[in-house]
Amino acid sequence: MTIKIIKKAPDKKVVKRCVCKHCGATLEYTPNDVTYKIYEDYGGGKDTYAEFGCPNCGKLIRDVQ
Ligand SMILES: [Zn+2]
């Protein structure tokens, strides 16, 4: 079976929005645009966050999911 592409535009289910904490721009991204990293705190809890450069101001953004 071949996988068919029905629609190439990213679906809202995977598109994330965040506001840059540095310049205030509202950004939209898909998982392919960013690197996911796991942050482990001292209590053993784990958080996944997306890391990417803001296209507006160029500073590093960490968006916790
Ligand atoms: Zn920014």
pLDDT of residue 65: 73
Q: pLDDT tens, 4-28?
A: 999 999 999 999 999 999 999 999 9
pLDDT of residue 1: 87
Q: Is 25 within 8 Å of 19 (Cβ atoms)?
A: yes
Give Cβ neighbours of residue 45 (< 8 Å, ≥ 6 apart). none
The C-alpha atoms of residue 34 and residue 42 are separated, in whole angstroms, by 25
Ligand 1 center to 21 CA (angstroms): 7
Ligand 1 center to 16 CA (angstroms): 16
pLDDT, average across residues 32-47: 92
Ligand 1 center to 18 CA (angstroms): 10
The C-alpha atoms of residue 55 and residue 57 are separated, in whole angstroms, by 6
Q: In this model, does residue 61 exceed pLDDT 80?
A: yes
pLDDT, average across residues 48-64: 96
Ligand 1 center to 32 CA (angstroms): 19
pLDDT above 70 coverage of the chain, percent? 100
